Amino acid sequence: MMWTASLCLLGVSSILSAPVNKQRQKLLLISFDGFRWDYDRDVDTPNLDKMAKDGVKALYVTPPYLTITSPTHFTLLTGRYIENHGVIHNMWFNTTTKAKKPYYQTQFVNEWWDNGTLPIWITAQRQGLKAGSLHFPGTASSYQGQVAMVREVEPSLYNYKNETLWKKNTDKVMGWFKHEDLDFVSMYFGEPDGTGHKYGPDSPERKKMVEQVDRAVGYIRESVELHSLTDHLNIIITADHGMSTVYRNGLVEEITLNKIPGFSFSDVAFHLLDYGPSGMLLPKPDRLEKVYSALKGAHPHLHVYKKEDMPERLRFAKNDRILPIVLWADPGYVINGYFPVQFNKGEHGYDNDDMDMKPFFRAVGPAFHKNLEVGPFETVNVYPLMCHILGIQPEVNDGHLNATKHMLITSNASQGKKINLAENAFIGIAAIAGFLVVQ
């Protein structure tokens, strides 16, 4: 009896001492800028379709408002609504000097990004993981003195459409995972956003670009296999926002603030306009009511709010960077200041409730179920999902794991093996106890 019991105890000992979580799960977050939720419906996308069969597809996801590039990407990285993380626009601005910087230059304004909220790169590194980023908005900045361990910022005047560069960047990122043993990487592609802006979301050019995106997805997944990463690399592919067709050529009455009776730019100290369907105004002292009254109801497709009266669902009010008056237009319209200066055929920045603003979402890898289609959820929930897969403690955020955990094979993706070993050990101990009682 003692010999048998010793064998049982030896078995339990081997279970308890077995290596826990032999290979930590890794994660690649990819954004294809401006990829609307339904872009795969009028284009043949075999690789995206295969990814859905091999993993998870959401009907669509809802970005935060304001639905533009830098703010929505920083929500993916932090799990915070825009009013909470503070990257409220693509453009850095100073209301005193009236200076503004465009999207690319704003990437290098550190204080614009580093204002209290940590992106997942820094959180992961502080908890012992290795993180990197390629071209993702916010990559150029440091946060509380730290940066992503491996990072690459695109050069100015970068050709976001170049498919050869897409392949080179994919090879580079896979090398980071394979040879530098990174645990998390965020990767950014600037299309189909640029094509959607220039030609419109319903154009043949946009459809061709979606085909290029699909080829890129196929190349990415082939590269995962080539680098022997299939068993432990998870991939989430999503976007920052969608795209809507702009009404032009006399089809509608355009919104031009300078033409509105009672409104004058002489009452405004600073403005952020001529940047699509959204805008903000800082009235001069004691002019707020005058400016607000002149604009409110001035155009049937222009929404005008005092900052404190913004609809709560938009979560775009409680930040000092947001100016006192917020404007946005209905889909198809853009807001002009003195006169029209923008001629894009497609735009984003509209209300995030509008279906044209919804991005797509795919996920595949050992953490995810296969051939699972799920309902819509907010992109603020991607952050806690990523932290969960990586097995790190998230920072304070506005997302909820409950919104996405049904996608996962186990309730704790990164620690799944540990949980199973503990359960097996408990079963083994119970078996021994039963055996000894019987004897």
Same domain for 90 and 151, yes or no, is yes
Specify if 206 maps to a domain: yes
> CB-based burial of residue 224 (10 Å sphere; 0-12 exposed, 13-18 middle, 19+ buried)?
buried
Residues 329-386: pLDDT tens digits? 999 999 999 999 989 999 999 999 999 999 999 999 999 999 999 999 999 999 999 9
Rounded Cα–Cα distance for residues 65 and 71 (Å) = 8
Kindly state whether residues 261 and 404 are assigned to the same domain. no
Q: Give CA angle at 206 (200, 212), nearest 5°.
A: 160
CB 357 within 8 A of CB 67: yes
pLDDT (0 to 100) of residue 55? 98
What global pTM score does this model have? 0.89
Active site residue 69: yes
Number of domains in the chain: 2
Range of the domain at 297: 255-343
* 38 and 108 fall within a common domain: yes
Burial of 313 per CB tally in 10 Å (0-12, 13-18, 19+) = exposed
Same domain, 268 and 180: no
For residue 192, is the peptide bond before it cis, meaning its omega torsion is within 30 degrees of 0? Answer: yes
What is the residue-level pLDDT of the chain in tens, covering all 439 positions? Answer: 434 444 343 343 333 333 334 468 999 999 999 999 999 999 999 999 999 999 999 999 999 999 999 999 999 999 999 999 999 999 999 999 999 999 999 999 999 999 999 999 999 999 999 999 999 999 999 999 999 999 999 999 999 999 999 999 999 999 999 999 999 999 999 999 999 999 999 999 999 999 999 999 999 999 999 999 999 999 999 999 999 999 987 888 999 999 999 999 999 999 999 999 999 999 999 999 999 999 999 999 999 999 999 999 999 999 999 999 999 999 999 999 999 998 999 999 999 999 999 999 999 999 999 999 999 999 999 999 999 999 999 999 999 999 999 999 974 555 433 333 333 443 344 433 443 333 4
Query: Residue 59, CB half-sphere, CA atoms under 13 Å: how many?
Result: 5
Of 313, 343, 373, which closes a domain? 343
- Could you tell me if 162 and 88 lie in one domain? yes
At residue 89, what is the residue type?
A: H
Same domain, 357 and 338: no
Angstrom CA distances, 62 to 125, 238, 283, stand at: 28, 11, 32
Encoding tokens for residue 392? Answer: 């790190």
H or E segment to which residue 83 belongs: helix 82-85
What CATH code is carried by the domain that includes residue 203? 3.40.720.10
Residues 131 and 179 in one domain: yes
Contact 80, 380 (CB under 8 A): yes
- β-strands 268-272, 278-283: how paired? antiparallel
3 state SS for 372-420: EEECCEEHHHHHHHHHHHHCCCCCCCCCCHHHCHHHECCCCCCCHHHHH
Question: Which string of DSSP letters, residue by residue, matches 8-59?
Answer: HHHHHHHHHHSPSSSS--EEEEEEETT-BTTTTSSS--HHHHHHHHHSEEES
Classify the C-alpha dihedral 297-284-276-141 as positive or negative.
negative
CA dihedral 232, 380, 40, 48 (to 10 degrees): 0
Type of residue numbered 176: W
Residue 6 lies in a domain: no
Q: Are residues 169 and 39 in the same domain?
A: yes
Strand blocks (E) in 112-243: 131-134, 150-152, 184-189, 233-238
Asked if residue 425 is part of any domain, the answer here is no
**Is position 427 within any domain?**
no
Does 421 reside within a domain?
no
Among 343, 362, 381, which residue terminates a domain? Answer: 343
Q: Indicate whether 368 belongs to any domain.
A: yes
Strands 92-94 and 233-238 turn out to be unpaired
Question: Quick one: 125 and 231 in the same domain?
Answer: yes
Instruction: Establish if 7 belongs to a structural domain.
Output: no
* Residue 328 belongs to domain with CATH number: 3.30.1360.180
**146 shares a domain with 272:** no
Task: Give the separation between CA 395 and CA 78, rounded to whole angstroms.
Answer: 8
User: Does a structural domain hold residue 99?
Assistant: yes
Identify the three-state secondary structure at position 315: coil
**DSSP per position, 258-313:** GGSTT--GGGEEEEE-SSSSEEEEEEPTT-HHHHHHHHTTSSTTEEEEEGGGS-GG
Shared domain check, 167 and 64: yes
Could you say which of 69, 106, 123, 404 is catalytic?
A: 69
Same-domain check for residues 91 and 196: yes
Question: Contacts from 429-435 at CB under 8 Å and sequence distance 24+?
Answer: 429/12, 431/8, 432/5, 432/8, 432/9, 432/12, 435/4, 435/5, 435/8
Sign of CA dihedral 107, 110, 112, 117: positive
